[in-house]
Structure 1
Amino acid sequence: MKNIITAFCLTLTLSACNTTDNQANTTQVTNTSTQPQKHLPKNIIMVVGDGMGPAYTTAYRYYNDDPNTPAIEETVFDRHLLGMSNTYPARVSGYVTDSAASATALSTGVKSYNGAIGLDVNKQPVQTVLEWAKLQGKKTGVVVTSQVNHATPASYLAHNESRRNYNAIADSYIDDGIKADVILGGGWEYFIREDRNLVDEFSVKGFHYIDNYSALATLPENKPVLGLFADIGLPWSLDDTDKNRLSTMTKAAIKQLENPQGYFMLVEASQVDWAGHSNDVAAAMSEMDDLSQTMLYLENYVENNPDTLVILTADHSTGGFTIAANGVYEWNPEILRSMKHSPSSIAKQLAKNDITATEASDLFNFTLTDQELIKLQQSKYNASEQTAAYYSASKEQQKSMSKPRISAALYEIVKQIIDARTNTGWTSYGHTAVDVPVFALGQHSEMFGGNIDNTDIANKIFTLLGKPAQ
């Protein structure tokens, strides 16, 4: 009863603080207020660990553990866990969501069909929390490790019937009114095209454009920024020039967004999901480490800026990741901590050269057994034979054949070696319907506790941004 009364009083307090009469408008981005409202967070940072089901944060605790101490060290995720969220999409898409439907729920408070970007089930635009924040005079930003027009960022910035319409979504970032003051991630392929150069168009609109991480340290003050650092998504954290690139981008974005009226920012650790789809535990733990470093920075930021709220959740879980497999009661992350290259990068290097014990062990950064080495060599030989057969076939025959890739075949063996060494299991290359964890810290973080729906997260953010109840 005490919790119910507390929540009711908080709702009354927040409602009383609402001073805006603005009507929802998904295309208008004009500022309509100039002062932050009392008792509401000045800044809200929404963090999405794409694909980050509960096994990922648990595995990261063991990956991050210092084996030289008797205790298993607490992680930043452990400190701020408040509850769980269910992720199912609109009824028409069943129980298992994709990233677009889930991000639309997280951004608008409305369930939709798989593939929907900021639309309801009738394909009508629904206002997002980022758009509403912009209307309240706040600055807004998007920081992701995918391309900036991928499903999650698009669901905060755009409205489109299909997440696959990448060019149209990118175009809408200009055509439907610029809604973000900072946009950081990948996407040259979609923003610098033969038919249209969106980078030039953003520059004409007053944006400062950068294409390398080092430029984040010297951004001009009080100027909007577009930063694109890769053709599509960023390299795996393990392979990138900055292994903590999400943290680096987040720090730069916050510095750029800080202002007297406050800001709303979306941060996405996009490639936790990509690692899950690939059943790649080494890449997954490195992406989780990048997210952890980002959350550690935000933890410190909230301590120094107590009028800031940070929420972290996942849109869904990916891969059916299991910590221990094959009936064996152990999980061994030791080799994951020492890896210097992603399994994908290792496979590409092995595809180029003869596979020797020395080269393979150097790439893995641990000594391979004779059996592991033979598996790699045999995989390469088989893939080479299949490649030769493909190219010796007629054009007509090739139409019914899959084009072999030696690096892809080796990638599967590299992952098998790592899974066997760590005793990691997977059940799927897709999404699963398990509930996902919710973390929050800062002003009014207690509102995000318990067992909630993903739409509740958006609706609570709307309340904290001063939007009247519908």
Structure 2
Amino acid sequence: MRRKTLVAAGALALGGLAIGSAVQAVSPGFTDDRSATLAKAISPEKPRNVILLIGDGTDDSIITAARNYELGAKGRFALDELPFTGAMTTFGLKTGTDPNDYPINYVSDSAPTASGWSTGKKTVDSRISQGPSASDTAPGTDYDTVLEKYKAAGKRTGNVSTAEITDATPAAAGSHINLRECQGPANMAKCGYAKKSAVPAGKGSIAEQLVDNKIDVLLGGGAARYAQATDAGPSVLDYAKSTYSYQAVDTKTALDGVTSLDKGPILGLFASANMTPRYEPLTATPAGAGGPTTTCKTADRGTQPSLADMTDKAIKLLDNDKGFFLQVESAMVDKQEHASDICGAIGDVLELDNALKVAQAYQAKHPDTLIIVTGDHAHSTQIVGNGGTTTDATGATGGKATATVKTFDGDPMTVAYSTAAPGSSQSHTGSQIRVAASGPQAANVTGTIDQTDLFSTMLGRTPSKLPTTTPPTAQPTPQQPAPAGAPVVAVVTDKKISAKTLTKKGLRVSTSAGGATSVRITVVKGGRTLATKTLGARGGTAEIRVKTRVKGALKVVVTATGPGGTATKARSVTVTR
């Protein structure tokens, strides 16, 4: 039975959108005006936590192909339904002798693009969080990264990837070097100045620098880089253990067994090089690979955790009162696009979306968390209208190499790769890409931005003041003050807490409000007030301690007060022994 027949038998709810039969001529869109919903989603406050999710090489073309395959043309990924979406430019620079006028590079690799959001500055191909210079081997100026700034502020930091953790995108978060290829101590031929044995001593290879930055959670591939000997003798892995007490794990089971950072930071290396993609390869060919009935086959990933597994563990380990920064990369989208492998690329878009859902579950309880989802550059995958490489009756051509798969709708979809000859590595492209976000300051991704703009947003821009006047068409006369609407308030708290935790640490209550001048949290039991806390106009997160030992049901009442009145939300909490 074709899959679209199954869908026709009953609507399938995906991401809150009712998806009907693929054969019905109906719009998959929305009907109600969304202005009020979007307005409520705007928060100008600085985020306490930041989770940045990167799909390497993930542009709208591969998102569309993955959506068609996994959900159907009318489906929606979680990343499609984030409240704020924009377009992001990704150009870089070229080396040059005039530091005031470096040439523009319209098609960049992952090193300068990842360095762009990490540092807020442009640089050249293969350069890792370091400024441009006159040549590839001449070092530039090291630029501080978002991760390093969060670390310096006393917040926890994490770096997760399905590539080698020393690859360009994760490297840019926490290292500085002139060439991305200098990943381990044995790979430093073109980065001699950076060797720790150099005079003066350098910062070392990317693997060493990630360790020396004392990143709390490092998870990905690249075990072979950490097995390399340092200039001083021991391997990078042994150096990490002996110098910084890193806890090393190499399987999902071992990762599951780590429950805290009390014994030291975590270094998870789950593959010698890159981790295994979700799906087995389907490589495009000049004659056309696959066909109308071809589906992607799940790969055997052995003991490796999924990207969602790593994201979930990272968030749980990083969660703390001061906040954290976490970068998560679904890297194999790019790797498999280079290889003209449509199934491999589609699978890692799904991995990215599953990791996003993990982040959203955390954000639901911690609304002071900013989530950003984007890519680093565009790539070569294109959905085309015919299943071959020759010119059809309409004059359309498939491309130098194509592959066809059967989508969720039950229909064939053909993709083409034409940036390189068949059998060669496909190239990046210079198109703008998608960026989407939710949480505090998420509205800053709307419109067309550059990826360097993410740097200031992730660090937290100076909060602006939201307008309180009514729309121009409903403005009162000049003699009348503009009426203020009643405040709105949202609250999230744990449903259960132990009596000991309630008295020692307190109950975490996260609130957000609009149109208020103050927000007050009250903890009540049986009509008796046990504790109160007053927050600012936008709310925030507070730990509410109750001095008296209690058990049973409590009520948490949050009241937002403003010129237009008050708004109240209550949540029930059970106190256990």
1:113 correspondence with 2:110: no
1:215 to 245, 249, 254: 254
Do the aligned partners of 2:406 and 2:412 also contact (CA within 8 Å) in 1? no
Tell me if the contact between 2:62 and 2:381 (Cα under 8 Å) persists in the aligned partners: no
SS at match of 2:51: strand
Conserved? CA contact 1:237–1:287, under 8 Å? yes
2: CA distance, partners of 1:312 / 1:119:
24
| Deviation per residue, 1:395-427 (Å, 9 max, x gap) | xxxxxxxxxxxxxxxxxxxxxxxxx96421112
Residue 263 of structure 1: aligned partner: 324
Shift of 1:52: 0.4
Hey, what's the Cα distance between the residues in 2 that align with 1:65 and 1:257?
A: 32
Instruction: Give the corresponding residue for 1:96.
Output: 107
Which whole-Å CA distance do the structure 2 matches of 1:74 and 1:96 have between them?
29
Residue in structure 2 matching 1:193, options 194, 215, 228: 228
Output the amino acid matched with 2:122. Answer: K
* Aligned residue among 425, 436, 440 for 2:416: 425
Query: Contact 1:57–1:77 (CA<8 Å) still a contact in 2?
Result: no
Match of 2:312 in 1: 251
Q: Residues 317 and 206 (structure 1 numbering): CA distance in 2 closer, same or farther, change over 3 Å? A: same
| Deviation of the 1:133 alpha carbon | 0.7
Q: Give the 5 Å matches for 1:134-283.
A: 134-167=151-184, 168-174=205-211, 177-195=212-230, 196-204=234-242, 205-222=244-261, 223-238=264-279, 239=299, 240-241=301-302, 245-283=306-344
Q: Does 1:449 align with 2:446?
A: yes
Where does 1:30-109 land on structure 2 (aligned, <5 Å)? 39-65=45-71, 72-80=74-82, 82-90=85-93, 91-92=102-103, 94-109=105-120
Count of aligned pairs: 346
Q: Deviations over 1:5-39 (max 9, x none)?
A: xx9xx9xx97xxxxxxxxxxxxxxxxxxxxxxxx4
Note closer, same or farther for the CA distance 1:231–1:322 as it changes in structure 2 (3 Å cut).
same
Percent pairwise identity: 29
Structure-1 separation of matches of 2:351 and 2:157: 22
The residue type equivalent to 1:62 in the other structure is N
Change (3 A) 1:148 1:314: same
| Aligned equivalent of 2:498 | none
Larger Rg: 2
Counterpart-to-counterpart distance in 1, 2:308 and 2:321:
23
Alpha-carbon distance in structure 2 between the residues aligned to 1:281 and 1:323: 13
Distance in structure 2 (CA, Å) of the matches to 1:147 and 1:56: 22
For the 8 Å contact 1:276–1:321, the answer to whether it is kept is no
- Which is further off, 454-463 or 329-338? 329-338
Task: State the secondary structure of the residue aligned to 2:103.
Answer: helix
Per the alignment, residue 439 of structure 1 pairs with 436
User: Is residue 320–residue 432 contact of structure 1 (8 Å, CA) maintained in 2?
Assistant: no
**Secondary structure in 2 aligned to 1:166?**
coil
How far does the alpha carbon of each residue in 1:238-284 deviate from its partner, in whole angstroms, 9 at most, with x for none?
22137871100000011110111010011001110001101111111
Change (3 A) 1:243 1:421: farther
285 and 336 in structure 1: CA distance in 2 versus 1, 3 angstrom threshold: farther
**SS class of match (2:273):** coil
Q: 1:215: Cα distance to partner?
A: 1.5
234-243 or 151-160, which deviates more: 234-243
Higher strand share: 2
Structure 1 counterpart SS, 2:127:
coil
Would you say the 8 A contact 2:333–2:345 is kept in 1?
yes
Distance 1:58 1:99, change over 3 A: same
Residue 398 (structure 1) aligns with:
none
* SS of corresponding position for 1:318: coil
Change (3 A) 1:456 1:127: same
RMSD across aligned C-alpha pairs, in angstroms? 2.8
Unaligned residue ranges in structure 1 (runs of 5+) = 15-38, 339-419
Shift of 1:233: 0.8
Corresponding letter in the other structure for 1:53? D
Structure with the larger RCO, 1 or 2 (CA within 8 Å, 6+ apart): 1
Distance in 2 (alpha carbons) for counterparts of 1:207 and 1:337: 47
- Specify whether residues 101 and 59 from structure 1 end up closer, same or farther in structure 2 by C-alpha distance, changes over 3 A only: same
Give the conservation status (yes or no) of the 8 Å contact 1:51–1:314. Answer: yes
Instruction: Name the amino acid aligned to 1:45.
Output: I
Shift of 1:461: 1.7
- The separation in 1 between residues aligned to 2:462 and 2:218, in whole angstroms, is 21
Which amino acid in the other structure matches residue 130 of structure 2? L
8 Å contact from structure 1 (residues 93, 113) kept in 2: no
SS of the aligned residue for 1:264 comes to strand
Shift of 1:458: 1.3
**Bigger share in helix:** 1
CA contact (8 A) 1:55 1:323 kept: no
CA distance in 1, matches of 2:317, 2:448: 35
SS at match of 2:161: strand
Question: Amino acid of the residue matched to residue 180 of structure 1?
Answer: I
State the 1:226 CA deviation: 0.4
Shift in Å, 1:337: 10
Contact 1:62 1:333 in 2 (8 A): no
